[in-house]
Amino acid sequence: MVQFSTSEFRLTPHIDNLEVANSFAVTNAFCSQFSRGVYAIFGFYDKKSVNTITSFCGTLHVSFITPSFPTDGTHPFVIQMRPDLKGALLSLIEYYQWDKFAYLYDSDRGLSTLQAVLDSAAEKKWQVTAINVGNINNDKKDEMYRSLFQDLELKKERRVILDCERDKVNDIVDQMTLNDAMRNKARLSITGSTGENGRVMTPEFPKAVHAVPYVSPGMGMNVSVTDLS
């Protein structure tokens, strides 16, 4: 039996600050960390760097621990801190018996979840309107979000699923509360890593009536379900 005392075993951090969308910078940082003999790397990735990181981890047998969106497939050296939401979301849709709704997403994680929704939609004959809000211009985002929900209202799309990162969820919710369509009959819940901004809206008027318990950023569910019916 091998025993380790606190004096014999300790964690020594080596920190690199970089832009995760820059694959070249990610590669250099990973190689630099590996040359130090690290056992594991904590960090983030995005759609531009995820393949680079998972490839290095598999080749060099270095564990990568991340709160970023779960990847498709099996990566034995990648430890996901964020749960996969596909099963939970599908169960929620079935529980509320939604057979017609709009799905708004902003990332590869959202696209991956959307594919699972579409697969179920084909089997269960759901009507799904998928909208990518990831490329909306920040300078015109307020106007575009209002226009988007006005268009959905005209099309009688009164049920909306938001599968977006926290900052975008907050932006969209702010514009939804300003939309006249929301003032008639609205109900909105946000679950997970929304911090103090998480709230439940009253049907009569959009105001905060209940704070959702705080969850550390990146660790909770970012799926929000809105029912405008």
pLDDT tens across 159-218, in order?
A: 888 888 777 888 887 777 665 544 444 444 443 333 333 333 333 333 333 333 333 333
* Cα distance between residue 162 and residue 131, in whole Å: 10
Mean pLDDT score, 123-129: 92
Dist. CA 135–CA 133, nearest whole Å: 6
Q: Are 48 and 25 in contact (CB under 8 A)?
A: no
Token reading at 91: 């169960």
Rounded to whole angstroms, the Cα distance separating 216 from 107 reads 20
Q: Which two tokens stand for residue 166?
A: 């926290």
Mapping DSSP to helix (H, G, I), strand (E, B) and coil, where does residue 114 land? Answer: helix
pLDDT band at 95 (very low <50, low <70, confident <90, very high): very high
Classify strands 100-105 and 78-80 as parallel, antiparallel or unpaired: unpaired
Cα–Cα distance between 115 and 210 in angstroms, integer?
A: 32
Each residue's pLDDT tens digit, 20-50: 878 888 889 888 988 888 888 998 888 778 8
Q: Which H helix or E strand runs over 80?
A: strand 78-80
Please give the domain boundaries of the chain with CATH numbers for all domains.
23-80 (no CATH), 86-227 (3.40.50.2300)
State the number of CA atoms in the 13 A half-sphere of 206 facing the CB: 20
Total Cβ atoms within 10 A of residue 216? 10
pLDDT score at 196: 33
Asked if residue 158 lies in contact with residue 227, where contact means CB atoms within 8 angstroms, the answer is: yes
* Contact (CB, 8 A) for 161 and 129: no
CA distance 144 to 156: 18
